[in-house]
Chain A
Amino acid sequence: MKGRLKALAALSSVLFALVFLGAEKPKPKVEPVKARIGVISIITGQGAGYGEAITNGIKLARDEVNAKGEVSIDLKIEDSSAKQEQALAAAQKLIHSEQVVAIIGPTLSNEMKVVGPEANASGVPIMGTSTTAKGITQIGKYVFRNALPESQAIPASIGKAVKKYGIRKVALLYGNDDVFTKSGFDTMKEVSETLKLEILTIQEFQKGQADYKAQLTKIASLRPDAVFCSALYEEGAVILSQARKMGIKVPFVGGNGFNSPKVIEIARDAADGLVVATPWFVDRNDPKVKAFVAKYEKAYGKKPDQFAAQAYDAFHIMTNALKAAGAADRDRLRDAMAATRNFDGVLGKFSFDAERDVVMEPVVLIVQGGKFRIFQ
């Protein structure tokens, strides 16, 4: 008995040494931090375009990060269909059954308002890449975002447009049944009041509405210098197109929802004269941006939009923090993420402020000749 034990001990020490040496020999390799990250996005239904871009950006970043070998990420992607209840169910599944270390998403601020508190209560870091409404990161200390909020983007675009076109009188138009478009409108109104612009009329519409002629006829009759419009791209593109056909030729200043190549794809010529502020400009002269655009185009056959770029950067911010944390631990990851400063991504220099919100410089763009260009 004793002899056998001794033999076993000897054998195992030899084996151990072999394994140890075998591992040691090529180069000192650190075991990658293994983690599972959940993604909640809109894969089907209205707004599936956002989800497609976001998941594409994340997958591209995942492949890069896993190839490097410092962290090894297992992605779990869930569909929210742009519905709050489905987003919440997806979050609960990710947090409790899949045991993810952190969540990227959901896509809409509306969804974050219900998913954020759930993740925060469970102590799971959650990062919105497209949730730009007010008060998102104030949900709790586990809630982050790298989406430039409307409250920073809209003043930049309105300020530039007012200066360039000498705008004095404006009409406001917004979707009143969505947290995101409503919050964009609140900012537009606030900025208009600070800049002492005369607000001729405020018009509202609801999600999925098809006919905006009544609102637009009213706006046209008041002859504003510009229309400030807070809408998602599906409605926004339709509004632009109907407005141009009715003879409203003045500039449109849009919120972040307008900031998608899909607006031009759907509205075509009618999109000309649309001004938006954005964290992302695909033609930016920067080697990092160029490399990302080339890689993305090769993988998916089209150029990345803002949502793809933000998701791509978000994934890198998260995995960098994971590296710093050194383990797939929700609390340590949260602290490491909160400490992110001057992250150099495709959106430019990025930091979290004390409230885990965005610190960065937006670019103002205008649509001219069917393309987004830098607004001079």
Chain B
Amino acid sequence: MFLEQLVNGVTLGSIYAMVALGYTLVFGVLDIINMAHGEIFMFGAFVGMLLASKAGVPLPVAFLGAIAVTGAMGFLLERLALRPLRGRAGASNLASLISTIGVSILLENVAHRLFGAGNHLFETPFAEIRFPVGPVDVSLVQALILLISLLLMAGLALWLSRTRGGKALRATAEDITTAGLLGIDTDRMITVTVVIASAMGGVAGVLVGMAFNYINNQIGLSMGLKGLAIIIFGGMGSIYGAMAGGVILGLSETFVVAYGSSGYRDAIAFIIIIAVLLVRPQGLFGQAAPGTRT
């Protein structure tokens, strides 16, 4: 049972990590938490559900559809809710934060209107297929979730570290003014970041649908909260922190149920986070802000 629970935990954790990545990317360049990310993620799940379960298209197409819709939503979010506030005299970062909260409330209610309140079945054609890996039975869905999230995370890490675009993004995240002086189109980089983050949220949404079989218009809120906890735990703005934090939270939640009491699932998972933060307030991979005690 240990190995099976390990697989469950890593799968859950990699989904958490995917959600957290979207937050951390945007935080890196904009220094704000995009509160609408959870709802964009939820829309990704619904687009995936409509395509895969209702329209019956193959899964890769459902992924592309979710990426397209959530990417476009990210673009609109940046253009309509973030850019108009940026650099305006008197508008602090808090203004953009509130703006994203507004978008998140709007999106949740739009989803309620469009899709209703209840659970929606997310069908995947191969949901019943399981195969043995060593002593454990792994379902194909779990394997696929792991594979997709690992590929995406590796791709993101490679893009950030090896390409010109990734370099520009990192420079923008480091210092937006200097990056602009050095000839980087920072507005464009910010748009690209928000679009990528949203598209990753869309992929995470489809993965959640596949993993849990069901989605409703509240998942944005519950998964979003987990994602927020993870980026604080992993270190604000750190890509590797989001990945590690997600997996650790997924594993601890699963093992609390497996070997402890299922009633304390969330409580114990978050106590672990608090304990880590007491030792490393900047998070697992976070850099201490200059002038703070570590």
What residues on A are CB-neighbors of B8 within 8 Å? Answer: 213-214, 217
Dominant secondary structure at the A interface:
helix
Residues of A within 8 A of B121 (CB): 241, 266-268
Provide the residues of chain B in CB contact with A215, threshold 8 Å: 257, 262
The answer to whether B258 and A206 touch across the interface, beta carbons within 8 angstroms, is: no
Residue ID in chain B nearest A265 by CB atoms: B121
Q: Which residues of A contact B254 (CB under 8 A)?
A: 213-214
A179 CB within 8 Å of chain B: no
Per-residue A-contact encoding for B225-262, CB less than 8 Å = 1, 0 else: 00000000000000000000000000001110110011
Instruction: Kindly identify which residue among A217, A221, A241 contacts B214, using a CB–CB cutoff of 8 Å.
Output: A241
Interface residues of A, count at CB 8 A: 31
Least CB distance from B101 to A in Å reads 20
B99 touches A (CB below 8 Å): no
The complex places the Cα of A266 from the Cα of B137 at a distance, in Å, of 26
The interface stretch among A41-49, A71-79, A131-139, A337-345 is A41-49
Q: Are A242 and B119 in contact (CB under 8 A)?
A: no
- B219: chain A residues at CB < 8 Å are 210
Complexed CA–CA distance, A215 and B255 (Å) = 10
A309 on the B face (CB < 8 A): no
- With contacts A204-B261, A217-B1 taken as known, whether A46 is within 8 angstroms of B213 at the C-beta atoms is no
Which single member of B12, B216, B255 contacts A211 (CB below 8 Å)?
A: B12
A262 within 8 Å of B (CB atoms) = yes
A211, chain B: closest CB distance, angstroms: 5
How many contacts between A and B, using CB within 8 angstroms?
Answer: 84
With beta carbons under 8 angstroms apart, the residue of B127, B216, B222, B266 that contacts A245 is B127
Chain B residue contacts of A211, Cβ below 8 A: 12, 211-212
Q: Shortest Cβ distance from A71 into chain B, in angstroms?
A: 34
Q: Mark A287-320, 1 if CB is under 8 A from B, else 0.
A: 0000000000000000000000000000000000
Within 8 A of A (CB), among B117-163: 117-119, 121, 127-128, 130, 137, 139
Report which A residues bind B (CB closer than 8 A). 44-46, 48-49, 176, 203-206, 208, 210-211, 213-215, 217-218, 221, 234, 237-238, 241-242, 245-247, 262, 266-268
Contact sample, A vs B, 25 pairs, CB 8 Å cutoff: A45-B117, A46-B117, A46-B216, A48-B117, A49-B118, A204-B263, A206-B265, A210-B212, A210-B214, A210-B219, A211-B211, A211-B212, A214-B5, A215-B257, A215-B262, A217-B4, A217-B5, A218-B257, A221-B1, A234-B118, A237-B119, A238-B119, A241-B213, A245-B128, A245-B213
In the complex, the 3 A-B pairs of residues with the closest C-beta atoms, listed nearest first = A214-B257, A204-B263, A221-B1
In addition to A204-B261, A214-B265, A217-B8, 17 A-B residue pairs with Cβ atoms within 8 Å of each other are A46-B218, A206-B265, A206-B266, A213-B8, A214-B5, A215-B262, A217-B258, A218-B1, A218-B5, A218-B257, A221-B1, A221-B4, A234-B119, A245-B139, A247-B130, A262-B118, A266-B119
